[in-house]
Structure 1
Amino acid sequence: MQCPCGCGETIELMIMEGVYPRWDIQTDTRNRPTLYPSVWLKSGCRSHFWLRKGRVVWCKPENCV
């Protein structure tokens, strides 16, 4: 996926069993994806967000630990 901040970074997330780190993906009845846990880029733009029901929810410093 492309980073939602617009920096152009390509983000690759592993969703296969038995790999680490790994994300779980679920879709709702409208096929909107939700990812667990959050996505946190440790370099570059350093974006930190959740993908919930197909929407990006940005992490605010006071509630992201």
Structure 2
Amino acid sequence: MLEIALLEEARPRWSLEIDQRGRPSLSPSVWRKTGCGAHFWLRKGRVRWCD
């Protein structure tokens, strides 16, 4: 499970946008520096992995 902070007062925090088709995008990228080490973007409902 991955929790993403969207509350304005939270730090760090991400911005969520939903397009006209209901697809979510997050900004900035999500980077798990501990644990699995995953680094990705969520754009228009799709995960785009970073190298």
TM-score range, shorter chain: over 0.9
Which residue is equivalent to 2:50? 59
The normalised TM-score by structure 1 is 0.75
What is residue 37 of structure 1 aligned with on the other side? Answer: 28
Out of 16, 28, 36, the residue aligned to residue 25 of structure 1 is 16
CA RMSD of superposed structures (Å): 0.6
Percent identity between the two aligned chains: 55
Greater fraction of residues in helix: 1
Look at both structures and tell me which one has the larger radius of gyration over its CA atoms. Answer: 1
Is the aligned partner of 1:49 residue 2:36? no
- Structure with greater strand share of residues: 2
How many angstroms apart in 2 are the aligned matches of 1:18 and 1:44?
25
Aligned length: 51
Q: Which blocks of at least 5 consecutive residues in structure 1 are unaligned?
A: 1-9, 61-65
Structure 2 counterpart of 1:24, which letter? S
Q: Which amino acid aligns with 1:46?
A: G
